[in-house]
Amino acid sequence: MVKKMRLKKIKTHAEANLFLEKAYLPEHNRRFRRTPAQPEDYHRTAPRAAELEEVFHLETGRVIGNDWVVRHDNRYFQVKAQARQYAPAKGKVTVCEWEDGRLQIRYRSRVVVWEEIPGPVPVQTVRPREATAKKQKPPTPKADHPWRQNYRKMRPWSKPGTPPVSLIDAMSG
């Protein structure tokens, strides 16, 4: 059918609908029409609007949190008490969503009353300045600092050309 439409240079929806009504469908029905084996019509009656509404929605399974909050599609729903009872925490619920945006929360096939609440505020972590700054190297002592002197010159008993004297002899005498 696409090739036939391309050969007839049909480019818009209106032209395509006209082609289907005037040319394609009469030929198709002529070729494939058959008389029924029995004259009775076994088709079901069209479903009521309520039945269609029950069928045409998305169902998503969720779990109730310890604070009776259900999260769905980055939104938070607070489940309300019903007849002095809540649906149990950690209980499984079904979130039903229709095409027009309506939502319904069901617990054991019963509708639960809920209220949308704002989500938790994300905690911003503050980095301490010490952690972000570069670690400073300890200052290098100056050239005349005692730590930079030769350790042999720092000992009072060591003079050039004299042997070291033991501390015991130095203290006793």
The domain ranges of the chain are 2-30, 54-117
Q: Tens digit of pLDDT for each residue in 70-110?
A: 999 999 999 988 777 767 888 999 999 999 999 999 999 89
This prediction's pTM: 0.50
Cα atoms found within 13 Å of the Cα of residue 22, Cβ hemisphere only: 7
Please state, in angstroms and rounded to a whole number, the distance separating the CA atoms of residues 161 and 173. 21
Q: Tens digit of pLDDT for each residue in 10-26?
A: 999 999 999 999 999 99
